Amino acid sequence: MSAIIYIAVMAVTTYLIRMIPFTVFRMKIRSRFVRSLLYYLPYAVLSAMTFPAIFYTTGDIISASVGTLAALILAFFDLPLIVVALCSSLTAYAVSLFL
């Protein structure tokens, strides 16, 4: 299947998800369960996407693990997203040069 079809489906789905509540839906969500679910969902998604995939990003587990550790430490100290992302990558690169 052509990548264009996938991209179109992806774009339309993502747009509708953003557009419908912003434009059409003007009622307040009351269900405590749904509100809680929506609150937890993004964290769960990001976590599932990151682990264990992050350990396979660089091609060797050692540099990826050190990069992951760097990201965890910097994120723990509330550094900005971009600083965490860059330092994690740089650390993994530095380690990979010695392997």
Partner 1 sequence: MKQDFIKGVRAGIPIMLGYLSVSFGFGINAVALGLTVAEAVGISLTNVTSAGQAAGITVIAASGTLLEMVLCQMVINLRYSLMGFSLSQKLSTNYSTFHRLLTSFGITDEIFAVAVSRGEPVTPAFMYGIEIVSIFGWTVGTFLGAAAGNILPRKMIASLSLMLYGMFIAIIIPPAKKNFRVLIVILMSAALSVMIKFCFPVISAGFSVIICAVVSSVICALLFPRNEEEGGDG
Give the shortest CB-66-to-partner 1 separation in angstroms: 10
Give the shortest CB-63-to-partner 1 separation in angstroms: 7
- Residue whose tokens read 């693990």: 65
Q: What three-state secondary structure class fits 39?
A: helix
Question: Which residue, among 68, 70, 63, has the nearest Cα to 51 in the 3D structure?
Answer: 68
Give the shortest CB-10-to-partner 1 separation in angstroms: 5
Residue type, 78: D
